[in-house]
Structures are given as C-alpha cells and as structure tokens.
Amino acid sequence: MRGIGHDARQILAYVPARFVVHEHQLQKYACGTCKDGVTTAARPISALEQRSADASLLAHVVVSKYADHTPLTRLAGIYARSGATIAVSTMADWVAAVADKVAPIVDVLAQRVQRAHVIGTDATGLKVLDPTSATNIQYGTIWCYVGDDRDVVYTYAPTGEGATGPWDFLQGRTGYVQADAASVFDRVYNGQAGNAVEVGCWAHARRRLVELQPTDCRVAYPLQLIARLYRLEHLADAQQLAPPDRARLRHERSLPVLNKLQHALARAHLNEPPGSAFAKATRYVLNHWTALTRYVDDGCLLLDNNGTERQLRAIAVGRKNYLFAGSHDAARRAAVLYSLLRTCAQHGVPPLPYLTDVLRKLRDNVPVHELVPDRWHAVYGARNPQ
C-alpha cells in the first residue's frame, strides 16, 4: 500500500491559567571612601504606582468583575486555586485605581456621545452601602447614554432625580434624544435643560398593549400593525439600505401602516372609559404620537430604544452577583469601568488585551483620545491579538 493523503482530527484541550512572578534585581552601588549613601538602579515603572500588579493582572480583575460579572470574593477563590492568594481588599483597591486611571478616556467617550446625532438613554437602580442611611442601603441610579448606537457611557447618581442625571448630561442638547416617556426627561425637551428633539420608543408603546393580550382581543389588530412596522425595518436591514433610502421606504410603506394604526386606536379609544387598562394603553400611544412617528423622516433613527436597554443588561446581571456597591464612590467607579467595557463590546474590541495595553500606554503618557476603544483597535489592535 502507498500513502494517498491523511485525515486530520482536532481535539480541544484546556491549559489552566497560571501566575508568573517577574523579579527585577536592582543593582546597588556605594562608595566606601566618601560614604555618600547608596545609589540604586531605577525601578521599572508599573502600570499603577506603588502597586505590585502587572497591567495584565489588573485588566483581568476588572474584566472578570465588570464584563464576566464575577464578584471579587469569588475571583479570590479562583485565583487561590491557581496558586495566588490575593486579598479581596487588595483587588478592590486595584479596581478603584484602574477606574481613576481610565476616567479621562471615558470623559472623551462622554464628549463623543454628547455630540452624537441621536442619543438613547435609560436608567436602572443599584444598591449602595451607605452607613448614613437608616437601613445602611441606599438605592442609587445608573444612567446609560448611547451615542449613535456605538459609544456607551454610564453615570451614577445617589438618587433618580433628573438634576443629577439627564438634565446634567444632556444640558443644552438640541439634537435627537430617544427615551421612554418618563416625565424626568421633559426638561430636556422643553428648554429648561435642553431643546432636544424627542424620539419615542415603540417597544414601550407596544408593551402596554401586549400586557392586555390575554384579556382583551381588541389589542390584536394594533399589535399586528406594529409588527408590520418591525418587519419593514427588518426588510431595510436585510437590504442594507442607507439612511436616505430607509427614510424613503418608511414614507412609502410604514407611513400608511401608521395612519391605519392611529385611526384604529383613536376609534377604539373614543367610547372607552378613561380609567380602563385599554384606554390607558391606547392613550399612551396617542399622546406620544409625534415622538413615536418621528423616526419616519430620518433613516438614522431607530424604531425603539431597545439598544440602550440592552446596555443596561450588564448592570442587571452584575448586581445579581455582587448584590451592591460598597460605597457611592465605588458605584461611580463602576460606571466608569462599565462605560469602557461596554463600548469595547459595541465596537468588537476584545476587552482583556485592550485594557492591558491601555494601562501601559497611560503609564507612558499616550494621549487619551488615541485610547478610546475604536481608535485603539484601528491603530494598535493588530499588534495586540487576544
């Protein structure tokens, strides 16, 4: 018999992670004649001053907690099984220092979001330890802002008041803002905090009708029309239409559907008792009709604000694991780190090599505007494979 080729079979194996200690021996010199003291060679510069952790370890701790949602207590156990005993308090100190170090990058992201064509915004709660509170727990608020469905910025406020949330971040805004119809956003539109153009969310409008599906058959037809609006958006996505072409499709095909929907809801609402659940659901849509239909004229606008709500999922999953932030400062730092890691996810940037390299470049005083995730990926990404 003679060889005619070969069959290949691949078997995937797992090589456990390991810790490596790099020891730097610094030569020391002394003069026995003049006795003028000891001269020691310069120390290597670490990613964080006065901390004996390499940038790779610091990045892994941050990514484990804020991208993989692993509490530090659990991470300490994982590290201990790999042979490194690191106190939870030490890792908490590292996380705080990394957040302070990368905060200028998030400031650049915030400026880009504020200049975006459309900003999506929403909020969720977070428990925070507060000794001054009667229950030692205070419910703070994480506000999320997404610029053009790309950059993600979170801010933390001890309360849910607009003055420490959208009124501040969106101060002076004149462009599009997409959010639910909560009254906290009113000042952003009416000139008190900004003159933004309100864009409604069809997911919120539809949700009220869906809740009535098991008990009220009248919602079937409006939901059918709303589903048709979404199918037209899927068609535009499949055809990869540019914004002007998408707007043209909406005028030609979505607008007639919207007119049918408005007529159907207005007719159903006309003789309905105002306190009924069906009246409240239809009134929500009719009262916000202008904001809900504004997307028709601009192909860059989305039908709903689900993209922003998806960014809040990271907060929701994280708080189920670590339960609360240790302080208000810790919550603010968490918002900084979430901003960086979720923006990485939006741009397809691997977070571990990104954060490892960024910490080293910040040590070397590389300008922060070059270190936002998409810019870093374009310039340095190929040199730092995952």
Query: What number is the average pLDDT over the span 161-165?
Result: 88
CA dist., res. 72 & res. 61, Å (int):
8
Tokens of 175: 């462009």
Give pLDDT, residue 36. Answer: 80
Express each pLDDT in 324-373 by its tens digit: 999 999 999 999 999 999 999 999 999 999 999 999 999 888 999 999 99
| DSSP-assigned letters across all residues of 322-371 | H-SBSSHHHHHHHHHHHHHHHHHHHHT--HHHHHHHHHHHHHTT--GGG-
Give pLDDT, residue 319. Answer: 92
In this predicted structure, the answer to whether residue 383 has a pLDDT above a threshold of 70 is: no
**143 and 157 in contact (C-beta within 8 Å)?**
yes
Which strand (E) or helix (H) includes residue 142? strand 137-147
In this predicted structure, the answer to whether residue 57 has a pLDDT above a threshold of 80 is: yes
Dihedral pair phi/psi, residue 328, rounded to 5°: -65, -35
In this predicted structure, the answer to whether residue 32 has a pLDDT above a threshold of 60 is: yes
370 burial via Cβ count (<10 Å: 0-12, 13-18, 19+): middle
For the chain, the average pLDDT equals: 92
Query: What number is the average pLDDT over the span 223-230?
Result: 96
Q: Is 241 helix (H, G, I), strand (E, B) or coil?
A: coil
Give pLDDT, residue 59. Answer: 95
In this predicted structure, the answer to whether residue 46 has a pLDDT above a threshold of 80 is: no
Give pLDDT, residue 31. Answer: 86
- Domains in the chain: boundaries: 202-304
In this predicted structure, the answer to whether residue 386 has a pLDDT above a threshold of 70 is: no
Nearest to 251 by CA among 291, 206, 299, 290: 299
Express each pLDDT in 242-299 by its tens digit: 999 999 999 999 999 999 999 999 998 888 888 899 999 999 999 999 999 999 999 9
CA dist., res. 43 & res. 115, Å (int):
42
In this predicted structure, the answer to whether residue 109 has a pLDDT above a threshold of 80 is: yes
